[in-house]
Amino acid sequence: MSDNRRNEQPNHAAIEAERGRLRERHLRPGGERPPSSARGLHHTALISGDVERTIRFYQDVLEFPLTELIENRDYPGSSHFFFDIGNRNLLAFFDFPGLDVGPYAEVLGGLHHVAISVEPERWTHLVDNLTKAGVEHVVHSGVSVYFRDPDGARVELIADPLGEMYGDEVL
């Protein structure tokens, strides 16, 4: 992408018009949508640069219990480990010892952030944990906190219930 294009301001009216066109064409009212073919998110897998550091962050700071630590079947010597994020959903990690996978980078088709719903009282407690641990974070709209994990992946803790976004139903 050229430097000129990066400095262009988006045409918000045109973007909203395109969203409207897409909603009109593809979004069906709740009662008219077919059921999903999926049962739910089994796990999301991220990459860890240091297994113990990742465990300390997710288990000790965010209070997501480690549930399993096994060898990655696809890469001998690599670990595959899981954290409970509620409702039988898992956040998983791989490490790739000996491979230079490089730092986190936002790319098309890549991860922007993982958003995890927590109870409002727990949300406040976890924001305090982030502060105490010295983790830079930004609170948005009083219900979301955004931060980066030890390897740079963006994480959001949101106090809204599953299926809601800032008080609006999205499911």
Q: Given this model, what pLDDT does residue 1 score? A: 45
Domain count, the chain: 1
- Residues 28, 45: Cα–Cα separation, whole Å: 30
Best CA proximity match to 80, nearest among 96, 91, 89, 69: 69
- Residues 150, 147: Cα–Cα separation, whole Å: 10
38 lies in a domain? no
20 lies in a domain? no
What residues of the chain score a pLDDT lower than 70? 1-6
132 lies in a domain? yes
Q: Token digits for 16?
A: 């909203």
Q: Which amino acid is at 84?
A: D
119 lies in a domain? yes
Q: Given this model, what pLDDT does residue 6 score? A: 65
* Domain span including residue 50: 45-169
pTM of the model: 0.81
Q: Token digits for 171?
A: 């499911």
Task: Encode pLDDT of 128-153 as tens digits.
Answer: 999 999 999 999 999 999 999 999 99
158 lies in a domain? yes
Task: Encode pLDDT of 68-87 as tens digits.
Answer: 999 998 888 999 999 999 99
37 lies in a domain? no
26 lies in a domain? no
CATH of the domain at 136: 3.10.180.10
142 lies in a domain? yes
